[in-house]
Structure 1
Amino acid sequence: MDPALSALIDMVEASYDERMIKRGLKGFVHSCGFEFFAYLQTEGLEARVLSSYPEKWQKIYLRNQYSRVDPVVTEAKRRMEMFSWTIDDWPSRGTSEFKRFRDEAVEHGIRSGVTVPVQGSFGSTIMLTFASSGNKSDISKCQKQLSPLQAVLAIHYRLKIIAASTIVAPSRLLSPREAMCLTWAAKGKKAWEIAVLMGITPRTVQHYFDSARKKLNAATIPQLVAIAKDRGLV
């Protein structure tokens, strides 16, 4: 295994917060010849981001929900394999929103990169991007220096562990069955649909909902789902 990748995986495994993960990723990105990294998990219109992009750009990206028009995100979902990209490949014409996204990306020093996508659970897509202010990125160097699937999954796994262990006390963690019911509820499934998907009865699904509501002090199922998502439990 490449020493830089090995060091990154070790750092991720030892991390207890996102700050440590970011520090490890920054070192790895620079060893690959890039300036920025962005870990992105998309699910529908929602996006979870951990990146070293300029803070102003991160706020603009999330506020405007640019993951909807970002051609890197679109290509990642379509190809599901590592690929390089450059802003010169993006059409200069298009909707006003897309043109604004393109112009603002250039303004914040993002012109090319390499993206590694992985299919996540429940229809989500996980992607790790290495970006540069240069006009072209050398994908051959990246191919030699990393095993992309390992890096992405290691980071994704550790983020899940951190979210589950630091945001709520252990006594308030959801059981696997409760978390599964809430995950399907977050997808818009009704109790009877969840029962069919999980091979249990609607009454049992309701039991899991009631148990989870007590743990998270939620009055309704929509509130329960919202709290669970905010705390990274589903």
Structure 2
Amino acid sequence: MTDLFWSTWEIISLIEQAVDEGALKNCLIDIAKSYGFASVFGGIVPPGGMRNSKAEIQARAVVQYFPDGWAARYLDQNYLPRDPIVGRLQKDRNAFSWSESYKSCPEPDNVRAVGGEAADFGLVEGFVIPITTLDQRIAALSFGGARDDLSNRDRSALIFLANFAIGHWLYLRRPRPTCNKTLSPRELDCLLWAGEGKTDWEISVILGISRSTVTKHITSAREKLNAVNKPHAIAIAMRLKILG
């Protein structure tokens, strides 16, 4: 077991423990700093021709961490549609360096404008990791700083961590199940005892009602929670904090 393995495992644990997008953002910033980068930006890659509004960028972003002034400058100059990194992301699904995106950009003026101004803010070189989601959208994380001197080993580790982090971000953003109706007190009682591992018969004895009535209450609760079965209903109720 190498030190790299253990550090990667520790970072994975931190990503898993991020309970919301804010915590995950802080984790990604810590990862960037640990690899010597001064910035990290990422989220869902915009399609070609997207307008460069702050709201649109924020809606797609998981993390935006830049040196002071660069984000405002980027927005003010409408650099998104001109950014060689974004242009390459819309075509390339392999990890690449910023310098590689500059070399492959067909518009030298864009390289001079975006790359030149980024360098003024200390962002000279970086490493970009595209990630294809299950629904075939493209996400990415871009790490930048004064230089990119990652070893191949570090690049492999960072690619793995980036994929894991984006996966967790999408998990946090998933639609949460909601109740169609409020559960009745009896439905809550039956579901609570079911969550304690009691059978329908045991619940009927505890509550002083018939077994068939217990089954009816649990079935009604399952339908209201859009659950496929009793364990699923209990899990949803716990996640929605209906059950303590």
Report whether the alignment pairs 1:28 with 2:31: yes
Query: Partner residue of 2:237?
Result: none
Give unmatched runs, 5+ long, in structure 2: 51-55, 181-244
Distance 2:152 2:127 in 1: 10
Query: Partner residue of 1:102?
Result: 115
Query: Partner residue of 2:81?
Result: 68
Deviation at 1:154, TM superposition (A): 2.2
Distance 1:72 1:51 in 2: 15
Q: 2:161 pairs with 151, 154, 160, which one?
A: 151
Q: Deviations over 1:145-175 (max 9, x none)?
A: x151x3233222222233346xx88448xxx
Query: Partner residue of 1:113?
Result: 126
Tell me, yes or no, if the aligned pair for 1:86 and 1:137 is still in contact at 8 Å.
no
1:40 counterpart letter in structure 2: G
Query: Partner residue of 1:12?
Result: 15
Query: Partner residue of 2:5?
Result: 2
Shift in alpha-carbon separation, 1:147–1:94, aligned structure 2, 3 A:
closer
Distance 2:42 2:124 in 1: 17
Distance 2:133 2:23 in 1: 23
Q: Percent identity?
A: 18
2:28 counterpart letter in structure 1: L
Q: How many residues of Structure 1 are paired with residues of Structure 2 in the alignment? A: 166
Distance 1:154 1:122 in 2: 16
Give unmatched runs, 5+ long, in structure 1: 173-234
Shift in alpha-carbon separation, 1:82–1:94, aligned structure 2, 3 A:
closer
Shift in alpha-carbon separation, 1:78–1:54, aligned structure 2, 3 A:
same
Query: Partner residue of 1:160?
Result: 170
Query: Partner residue of 1:79?
Result: 92
Shift in alpha-carbon separation, 1:67–1:3, aligned structure 2, 3 A:
farther
Structure with higher Rg: it is: 2
Tell me, yes or no, if the aligned pair for 2:123 and 2:145 is still in contact at 8 Å.
yes
Report whether the alignment pairs 1:137 with 2:131: no
Question: RMSD between aligned alpha carbons?
Answer: 3.4
Deviation at 1:107, TM superposition (A): 2.2
2:150 counterpart letter in structure 1: D
TM-score, scaled to structure 2: 0.55
Tell me, yes or no, if the aligned pair for 1:83 and 1:139 is still in contact at 8 Å.
no
SS at match of 2:143: strand
Shift in alpha-carbon separation, 1:25–1:4, aligned structure 2, 3 A:
farther
Tell me, yes or no, if the aligned pair for 1:43 and 1:124 is still in contact at 8 Å.
no
Q: 2:43 pairs with 40, 45, 49, which one?
A: 40
Shift in alpha-carbon separation, 1:33–1:98, aligned structure 2, 3 A:
closer
Query: Partner residue of 2:67?
Result: 54
Query: Partner residue of 1:125?
Result: 138
Deviation at 1:121, TM superposition (A): 5.0
TM-score, scaled to structure 1: 0.57
Shift in alpha-carbon separation, 1:81–1:152, aligned structure 2, 3 A:
same
